[in-house]
Structure 1
Amino acid sequence: MQPSSSHHRDETVSPKPSRIDRRQLIAGALTAPLTVPLAVAAMAPAAGAAEDSAPPRRGNRIAVSTYSYWRYRDDSKLTIEQCIDLAAETGFDGVEILHVQMEDESNAALQRIKQRAFRSGLDLCGFSTHQSFVYPDAAKRDENVRHTIHCIELAYALGIPTIRVNTGRWGTSKDFDTLMANKGIEPRLEGYSDDDGFAWVREGLEKCLPAAEKCGVVLGLENHWGLGRTADGVLRLIREIDSPWLRATLDTGNFLENQYEQYQQLAPEAVFVQAKTYFGGGTWYTLEIDYDRVAAILAGVNYQGYISLEFEGQESHETAIPKSLETLRKAFA
C-alpha cells in the first residue's frame, strides 16, 4: 500500500494536541468532579497488593562443618580439602572449618583452600576455634587472646566473615567424657566465683575486638560449655561488652535443658547457627531436635544466615551426612 500524500489526509483523525492543549487537558483533569476517575480507581491495585507482591523469604543456606567428617575419631580425620570435595559432592552451599583440623596454616595452604572452595561453588562461611579465658593466671589468658587473634587473621585470609569463640570452662573435670557425663556442669576453681570468670572472659574478648573489627570478622560466642553453657551466660557477655563485633553462634545441640526457650533467647543475637544431628546415636549423648520448630524460631527474628551441620553421631558420615542435609533442607526451605 502506498502512503497517502499530505493533501489526502483523513480529516476524521484529529491532529495531535499542541503543548497548550496538553496543559489545558491536565488542568481539566485536576478540576474534574471526583466521580469521574472511578473507572481508573477500579483498575488500581488493591491496598494489600504491595504486600502480596513482596518476594518470598528465601530458605537458609546450608553448610557443613569439617568436624562432621572427623568427630575426633581416629579413623576419619580428613584434610580440609577432602572435606570441601565431599561437601560439594553432597550438595552443600558452604563449609565451616574446624581450626584444630587444619594441618598447614601457611598462606599458600590457605589460598589453596580458598580456591578449592571457590571452584567447587562453595562459600567458606565459618571458622571454629578452641580457646578459654577462664584462668586466674593473666599470662594464660593473654596466651589465649593471642591464639584467638591468630584465628581471626586466619579467617580473614580465608575470606571467612565469622569465627566461633567460647567463654571457656573451669577445667576441674577429669576429662571431656566426665564433663559430658555431668551435662557440661563442673565445680568452680576453689576460691573463685562465676563473677571472677565472667570478668576474665570479658577482658579477653575485649582484647580481641580491635583485631575482629580490623579484619571484619565477627566473633560468634557459642553456647558451649563452661560459663557459656546457657543462653543467659552468653547474653550477659554480649550485653556487657556491647560491640557489633561480638554476637552469638547458636549451637542447637548444646542446650541440655529448656532448649527451645533458650533458642528463643539467643536467636536475636545469632550470626551463625550450628545444627547437630545424631544418626546412629550420639557420640556423648543424643538430643531430640525439632528442626521445623527451630526454623520457625529463627524465621521469627529474620535470621537469614547459614545453618551449619555438625554431625555428631556414630553412623558413617558417608550415609549420615546426606540424610542430615535432607533434614535441614526440608526444615529451612
Structure 2
Amino acid sequence: MKTSRKEFIRNTALGTAAGIAAPFQQFQTENRANNSRNKIGVSTYSFWQFNGPKEETPVSECIEKAAEMGFDGLEILWMQMGSYENSHLQNIKRQALHAGLDLMGFSTHQDFLTPDEEEREKEIEKTIEQIELAYRLGIPTMRINTGRWGTTGSFDELMANDGKEPVLEGYTREQGFRWVIDAIARCIPTAEKCGVVLGLENHWGLGRTAEGVLRIVEEIDSPWLQVTTDTGNFLERQYEQLEMMAPKTVLLQAKTYFGGGKWYSLDIDYDRVADIFAAADYRGYVSLEFEGQEDPDKAIPQSLDLLRQAFV
C-alpha cells in the first residue's frame, strides 16, 4: 500500500516529535528549576535595628545601600518612614525604581490584644491607614501582628521569657482571639480595595505559635489575609512550625545573627528552610532581617550570600 506524500510528512513529523519530546520535557523541567530561585530582599530594619534615632537611618539611605549590595527588593519598616506625606512616598517609589529595587513588603505593628474597645478601634483605624500607605507606595503585601498582652515589663524581659507572657488578669485567651479576629476582619475590605495582601506574622502575643497564627487566618478565611513567616520567631519546634506556615506564606522573613544576636541567636539551617518552602511551592520574596551585633555594612552582604546559596 502506497503512502501519500501528506501521510509521509505527517508520520515523519510525529516520529521526530516523539524523539525530541522527552529531552524537551527534561529541558523544561531543568529550565524551571534554574529560574525558580526566590528573589532576595532586605528589611530597612536590618540597617537600623532600633539603634539610635530612626532619622539617622532613613529609608532613602537603605535603598541606596540595598541596591549597592545587590538585593532584589526592599521591605520598609513602617516605624522608619520618617514622613507619610505623599510627596515623600512618591520620592521613595522613584528612588527605588531608579535603584532597580522592588518595594515588596511593608512591615507594621498593631495592638489588637486589649479588652479596651476604644483602643482596638484606634488600632483598626491605624491599620487601615497603613494599608492605604502601602497602596500609595505600590507595595503588594503588609506584615501585621496580633499585639501583646502587655503583662511583661519590657521587650527585653519578654525575650528573656522566650516570648511568653501571662494572659491579662480577668480575661482568657479565647477572648483575646475574638478581639484579634474581629479587628483584623474589619481591615480586610480595605486590603481588598487596595490590593494589599495582609500577612499575619508569628510575632509574639497570640501569634507566637503557628497554631495561633493559622487559627486566626483560617477563621477569617480571606485571600487578603495570609501569613508572613519569620524564621527567627519560633523558639521551639522550629522546622515543624515553619512547615505548618509555609503553604499560606506571602513573605518569608529570614533572620541572621552575625556577631551574636541582640536578644538571642538561633542556629537556622537555611538549606532546610529553603527545602521546606520549595516543597510548599513558595515563589515569593525572602526578606533578610539582620539582627546581629556585627557591623551591618559587613554582615548584611554576608547574609545575602548565605541566603542566595540556600534559595536556589
TM-score scaled to structure 1, two decimals? 0.88
Q: Report the 3-state secondary structure (helix = DSSP H, G, I; strand = E; otherwise coil) of the residue aligned with 1:45.
A: helix
> Who is 1:115 aligned against?
94
1:45 Cα deviation after fit: 2.7
> Who is 2:295 aligned against?
316
Matched, 1:69 2:47: yes
Q: Report the 3-state secondary structure (helix = DSSP H, G, I; strand = E; otherwise coil) of the residue aligned with 1:44.
A: helix
Q: Report the 3-state secondary structure (helix = DSSP H, G, I; strand = E; otherwise coil) of the residue aligned with 2:19.
A: coil
For residues 45-77 of structure 1, the C-alpha deviation after alignment (integer angstroms, 9 at most, x for no partner) is: 366445312132321100000000000112774
Do the aligned partners of residues 245 and 39 (structure 1) sit closer, same or farther apart at CA in structure 2, a change above 3 Å counting?
Answer: closer
> Who is 2:25 aligned against?
51
* C-alpha distance in structure 2 between counterparts of 1:73 and 1:29, whole Å: 76
For residues 254-281 of structure 1, the C-alpha deviation after alignment (integer angstroms, 9 at most, x for no partner) is: 0000100101000000000100000000
For residues 207-233 of structure 1, the C-alpha deviation after alignment (integer angstroms, 9 at most, x for no partner) is: 000100000000000001010000000
Matched, 1:267 2:246: yes
Seq. identity, %: 56
Q: How does 1:194-213 map to 2 (within 5 A)?
A: 194-213=173-192
Match of residue 226, structure 2, among 247, 252, 260? 247
Do the aligned partners of residues 197 and 75 (structure 1) sit closer, same or farther apart at CA in structure 2, a change above 3 Å counting?
Answer: closer
Q: Report the 3-state secondary structure (helix = DSSP H, G, I; strand = E; otherwise coil) of the residue aligned with 1:235.
A: helix
Return the letter of the residue paired with 2:15: A
Return the letter of the residue paired with 2:197: V
Q: Report the 3-state secondary structure (helix = DSSP H, G, I; strand = E; otherwise coil) of the residue aligned with 1:320.
A: helix
Q: Report the 3-state secondary structure (helix = DSSP H, G, I; strand = E; otherwise coil) of the residue aligned with 1:174.
A: coil
Q: How does 1:17-32 map to 2 (within 5 A)?
A: 25-26=5-6
* C-alpha distance in structure 2 between counterparts of 1:111 and 1:66, whole Å: 17
Q: Which has the larger radius of gyration?
A: 1
* C-alpha distance in structure 1 between counterparts of 2:114 and 2:176, whole Å: 8
1:306 Cα deviation after fit: 0.3
1:169 Cα deviation after fit: 1.3
Following TM superposition, the consecutive aligned residue runs of length 4 or more in structure 1 with deviations greater than 4 angstroms are 23-26, 36-40
For residues 263-315 of structure 1, the C-alpha deviation after alignment (integer angstroms, 9 at most, x for no partner) is: 10000000001000000000000000000000001110111100000000001
Q: Report the 3-state secondary structure (helix = DSSP H, G, I; strand = E; otherwise coil) of the residue aligned with 1:85.
A: helix
Q: Report the 3-state secondary structure (helix = DSSP H, G, I; strand = E; otherwise coil) of the residue aligned with 1:220.
A: strand
For residues 13-44 of structure 1, the C-alpha deviation after alignment (integer angstroms, 9 at most, x for no partner) is: xxxxxxxxxx9654x669xxxxx959963762
Q: Report the 3-state secondary structure (helix = DSSP H, G, I; strand = E; otherwise coil) of the residue aligned with 1:56.
A: helix
Matched, 1:153 2:132: yes
* C-alpha distance in structure 2 between counterparts of 1:187 and 1:307, whole Å: 32
Instruction: Return 5+ residue gaps in structure 2 as ranges.
Output: none
Q: How does 1:112-261 map to 2 (within 5 A)?
A: 112-261=91-240
Return the letter of the residue paired with 2:109: H
Alignment: residue pair count? 305
> Who is 1:88 aligned against?
67
* C-alpha distance in structure 2 between counterparts of 1:42 and 1:98, whole Å: 56
Instruction: Return 5+ residue gaps in structure 1 as ranges.
Output: 1-22, 31-35
* C-alpha distance in structure 1 between counterparts of 2:77 and 2:16, whole Å: 60
How big is the alpha-carbon RMSD for the aligned residues of Structure 1 and Structure 2?
A: 2.0
Instruction: Name whichever structure is richer in helix by fraction.
Output: 2
* C-alpha distance in structure 2 between counterparts of 1:152 and 1:159, whole Å: 11
TM-score scaled to structure 2, two decimals? 0.93
> Who is 2:38 aligned against?
60
Return the letter of the residue paired with 1:292: D
Q: How does 1:32-47 map to 2 (within 5 A)?
A: 41=15, 44-45=18-19
* C-alpha distance in structure 1 between counterparts of 2:139 and 2:112, whole Å: 23
